[in-house]
Amino acid sequence: MRWRAGRLALLALGGAWLLSAYYHTHKALPAGMQVASPVCTVPAADVQLLTDTTAADAYGQALVKQQIFEATLAAVRAARRFIVLDYERLAAADTAGVQRALAAELTDALLERRRELPQLAVLFITDPINERYGHAPSPQFELLRAAGVTVVRVDLDALRDPNLLYSSLWRLLLRWWDRPGAPFGVAARELNFKRDHRKVLIADDGHDGLTALLGSASPEDAQSAWSNAALRFGGGAAQVLLKSELAVARFSGWRGDAQPFAAPAAVGCDAAAPAAPSAAQARVQVLTEGAFGRELIEQLEAAVSGDAVDAALFRLSDRDVIEALLGAARRGVRVRLILDPSEDATTLAPSGLPNQPLASELVARAAGAVHVRWYRTHGERFHSAFALVYGPQRLWLTVGSADFTRRSLMNYNLEANVALQLTPAAAPAQQALEYFETLWSNRAAQGVEYSADFAVFADPSQANYWLARLLEGAGLAPF
């Protein structure tokens, strides 16, 4: 009898485990996720590509060009009514070798603006890892709270579970013991492998409009030398992004008054513009989570012979994206990729994963029709999430936080991207084409090399290839 009761208990636990796994990978998404804004027409001059690049000269001295946080700080100092920020990381570092004290710069700018304008409403949304899931306070957030800034830690439990087998057990057995001081609490939560991965600032521009900065850069000192890309834009797409951020704050427990964060009445969206913008226009669309993944695949599948795809990426592992790139190359589309060499090893993933073996797959299966170069990192990371799909008459540009991975594109992480439809002659298009070509062709002073040949980090190992596929497919990937 005792044996039968134990067997029934095990069967019940197994059933609950499987039911939990199914539910938490298929449940409805919280409000604010998977957003696709209307395609809004704005003057091309009101859109700007911002880039951070780090390289080294022949003597190993760092050459750094940074635009993103200069624009971020300028937006903070221009705001008069409200600022909404959503960053995965806001963290100082004790290491002497960091490029900039980004966390202190942003914190100080927000505190100074609040002193100047006490009525300024500031909402800071962030991943709970910044405060160790409630186990340890953040000095930066403690200062901001004391100055009247509302800080909201995203409720990651409301998101779907990419690591379905582990996360369902965690929800059933470990979650209830996760409290401040528990020895396994932080590590156990991190194995769920999901994040608020957005990098967003939205503020009034001090007049009658909105300014949004959206990209791949976080104000973390340890990341201050990383290469990143971002876009500055305004208009109706920024208003949709603002609504999405407020919805994320709501499902994460914020109960504040949304009225101080209302977009100016003058902000709207001209969605009735012709399909092909002029060189003086840009069509802007905000895409979050899976909505971005779908649009990316559609753009790749729409590319035809004579078109080109150029992408500069931190991570590339999503199977649908890889197959779409291969399909485009077979149709005669020129495909060029600049990838980070993935030299940051973790407990589950050795150095080189996922980019090195999966890029080797792409090159081999495309029979040389997909061209890959590696960004020359020197301890930092090439962290851009930048892609261009273009032909003689049209150009589609996207920048944002989403890596080209299952977690980022399949509604597991919180992600935010912006896409532009332009003519190749438009100023933002020229900026984007020049940025990519500079890195690809090493247009720099003698001795400076942004990118290296594919053979430098190619990895034809079948063991590493299948390990990358297994980790990604099973939701065990830390990437």
Instruction: Compare 269 and 238 and report the one with higher pLDDT.
Output: 238
pLDDT of residue 276 exceeding 70, the answer is no
Question: Is 119 contained in some domain?
Answer: yes
Question: pLDDT tens, 110-132?
Answer: 999 999 999 999 999 999 999 99
Q: How far apart are CA 214 and CA 68, in angstroms?
A: 9
As a whole number, mean pLDDT of residues 51-59 equals: 90
Report helix angle 355-365 to 319-330, nearest 10. Answer: 30
Q: What are the residues whose beta carbons fall under 8 Å from the beta carbon of 142, sequence distance 6 or more?
A: none
Task: Give yes or no: residues 66 and 212 share one domain.
Answer: yes
Strand (E) or helix (H) holding 442? none
Of the three residues 261, 296, 328, the one that is the final residue of a domain is: 261
Collapse the DSSP code of 371 into the 3-class scheme (helix H, G, I; strand E, B; otherwise coil) and give the result: strand
Q: Which two tokens stand for residue 13?
A: 């636990």
- Has residue 308 been placed in a domain? yes
Q: Are residue 257 and residue 288 in the same domain, yes or no?
A: no
6, part of any domain: no
Please tell me whether residues 178 and 89 are part of one structural domain.
yes
Co-location of 337 and 201 in the same domain: no
Say if residue 234 is in the same domain as residue 325: no
First to last CA, the chain: 47
For residues 378 and 248, membership in a common domain is answered with no
Same domain, residue pair 92 and 187? yes
352 shares a domain with 322: yes
The SS3 call for residue 233 is: strand
Sign of CA dihedral 390, 395, 399, 405: negative
Angle at 220 (CA atoms; ends 217, 222), nearest 5 degrees: 105
List, for residues 391-414, the tens digit of each pLDDT value: 999 999 999 999 999 999 999 999
Mark which of 261, 290, 323 sits at the end of a domain. 261
CATH of the domain at 207: 3.30.870.10
DSSP state of 382: B
pTM tops 0.75? yes
Identify the three-state secondary structure at position 372. strand
> Do 139 and 178 reside in the same domain of the chain?
yes
Give 356's pLDDT tier (boundaries 50, 70, 90).
very high
Paired with 53 in beta bridges are 65
CA-wise closest residue to 385 among 271, 190, 218: 218
Cα atoms found within 13 Å of the Cα of residue 202, Cβ hemisphere only:
27
Question: Residue 394's pLDDT is what?
Answer: 95
Same domain (yes/no): 220, 83: yes
* Count: domains in the chain: 2
Q: Measured between alpha carbons, how far is residue 208 from residues 33, 126, 195, 354 in Å?
A: 27, 27, 33, 45
Res 12: pLDDT:
82
- Per the listing, tokens 């299948």 go with 466
CA distances from 213 to 241, 277, 339, 453 (A): 10, 22, 23, 32
Structural domain includes residue 134: yes
Judged by DSSP in three states, 52 sits in strand
* 442 and 295 housed in the same domain: yes
In a domain, 426, yes or no: yes
pLDDT value for 272: 58
Q: Give the mean model confidence (pLDDT) for residues 283-309.
A: 98
* pLDDT of 2 over the 70 cut: no
Beta carbons within 10 angstroms of residue 218's beta carbon: 25
* Whether pLDDT at 177 is above 90: no
Kindly list the strands in the beta sheet with 308-313, ordered across the sheet, starting from the edge strand earlier in the chain.
40-43, 281-288, 416-422, 395-400, 385-390, 308-313, 334-339, 370-375, 451-452
Q: Indicate the angle between helix axes 102-116 and 68-78, nearest 10 degrees.
A: 10
Is residue 13 domain-resident?
Answer: no
Render pLDDT for 87-96 as a digit per residue (tens, 0 to 9). Answer: 999 999 876 5
User: Is residue 390 within 8 Å of residue 405, measured between CB atoms?
Assistant: no
* Of 227, 261, 295, the domain-final residue: 261
Instruction: State the pLDDT at residue 175.
Output: 84
Check whether 437 has a pLDDT greater than 80: yes
Would you state the pLDDT for residue 234?
Answer: 95
Q: Establish if 266 belongs to a structural domain.
A: no
Percent above pLDDT 90 for the chain: 79
Q: Which of 159-168, 201-210, 274-283 has the lowest mean pLDDT?
A: 274-283
Answer yes or no: is 147 within a domain: yes
Q: Are residues 233 and 191 in the same domain?
A: yes
Decide if pLDDT at 1 tops 60. Answer: no
Residue carrying the six token digits 């990895």: 459
Q: How sure is the predictor about 450, in pLDDT bands with cuts at 50, 70 and 90? A: very high
Largest CA distance in the chain: 81
Element (H or E) spanning 56, and its range? strand 48-56
Two tokens, residue 423: 């003519």
Mean pLDDT of the chain: 93
Extract the runs of DSSP E, i.e. beta strands, from 127-241.
150-153, 199-204, 210-215, 228-233
Query: How many CA atoms are closer than 13 Å to the CA of 168, on its beta-carbon side?
Result: 18
CB atoms near residue 221 (< 10 Å) = 21
Residue numbers of the domain that contains 75: 46-261
| Crossing angle between the packed helical segments 102-116 and 139-146, to the nearest 10 degrees | 0
